[in-house]
Every structure is written in C-alpha cells, then in structure tokens.
Amino acid sequence: MEQARANIYRFFSTIFLDPPDEHLISTVFPYVSSALQELLGVHFSLLENVAEIREDYTNLFVLTTNKYLKPYESVYLDEGLVRGLSTIRVQNAYSAAGVKPVLSDLPDHMGLELDFMAYLCEEKEQNLDLQKQFLDNHIRLWVNDFCARLAEKSDTSFYREISSALRLFIEYDYNLIRELQRAETIIA
C-alpha cells in the first residue's frame, strides 16, 4: 500500500516539476488515472496531446505570465511572496526528516512537498505521524487554493482534471492515514 501511495504522490509531483513527456503520459498516466478514477470517482478525458500539455505546463509553472501559478506555499500563506516563513518551516520539516531536496528550486514548491510525501511513504519504518503532520502543517493548508488556481488558469482538460483529482486525493489519503493510525493504536 505504501508503494502505491508513493507512486501516486510522485506522479503528482512529477507533473508539477517536469515538463510532461511521452513516457509519463502514455505509460505512467494510464495506471495512475485508472486507480484515481476507481478511488475518487474522478474522470480523465485526456483530450490533449503531449505537446499541448507541455505548453500548458510551461504557462503554469515556468513563465511568469498571468497564468503563472506561483506554486509555492509561502505565496499562498504568507502575504503573497516567495521565500516566506512557510518556506523556512518546510525546509525545517525536510531537515528534521534527515533529507534535503536535490532540486534547485524553493523547498515549498507544491511538487517538492508532494514528493516529500512519496519519500515518507517509501521509508522502511512506518511514520504515519510525520505524514499526517506534514499534511496538516503544509499541504492541506494550501492545496485547495492551489488546485482552484490551477483549474482557473489551466488551458487543458489534463491539468483541470488533475486539479480536482489532487484535491480529492489529499483528503482521501488524509483519511486513510488517520484510519491506519487508529489501526496501529488498536494493535498496540
């Protein structure tokens, strides 16, 4: 189960951090999308080709035009600016877990935060408290606003559908973690 969760988190992370390519859309996406359809009842229509999705990605995540999402937690939570207190807190969460991002971007990029969840899922020792804490203190505080903005600014059905899937997945996964925690308590 942890591997499946990690795969879903890393898929979301990847489509926010890298320009989507043929491998991702043709090979990885079908697995993830059918799982998400099953879990969340969302629908994926995939109306666009890879080039169109990449163009949308560039507008949303790279160019600072009016479509730019500013995908950083501090933008959504601290006065609209990058490198805010949230950035420091996210960095501290990574350090506390004994890891650092290898990407030359700010630590509170949505993609990095999602990949951090994937990392936590893949850890050998179960760390449900850490996972819940990171969702509570970070991702859940801004994922809805982020997804709303993504839906508003996106030109493709791909990212629009991703936006509702991500929002629902985070809530689903959060409930799952809490359920698993309860199970842990009972066993203990």
Give Dmax (Cα) for the chain. Answer: 53
Rounded to the nearest whole angstrom, what is the least distance from the CB of residue 162 to other proteins in the complex?
15
Rounded to the nearest whole angstrom, what is the least distance from the CB of residue 36 to other proteins in the complex?
8
If we measure between CA atoms, which residue out of 169, 174, 141, 16 comes closest to residue 73? 141
* Pick 4 or 47: Cβ nearer other proteins: 4
Rounded to the nearest whole angstrom, what is the least distance from the CB of residue 154 to other proteins in the complex?
19
If we measure between CA atoms, which residue out of 8, 11, 104, 18 comes closest to residue 53? 18
Q: Which residues bind other proteins (CB under 8 A)?
A: 1, 3-8, 10-11, 13-14, 17-18, 24, 28, 31-32, 34-35, 38-39, 70, 75, 78-81, 84-85, 88, 91, 94-95, 98-103, 111-112, 115-116, 118-119, 122, 172, 175-176, 179-180, 183
If we measure between CA atoms, which residue out of 37, 61, 47, 173 comes closest to residue 109? 61
* Pick 130 or 176: Cβ nearer other proteins: 176
Determine how many CB atoms are found less than 10 A away from the CB of residue 6: 18
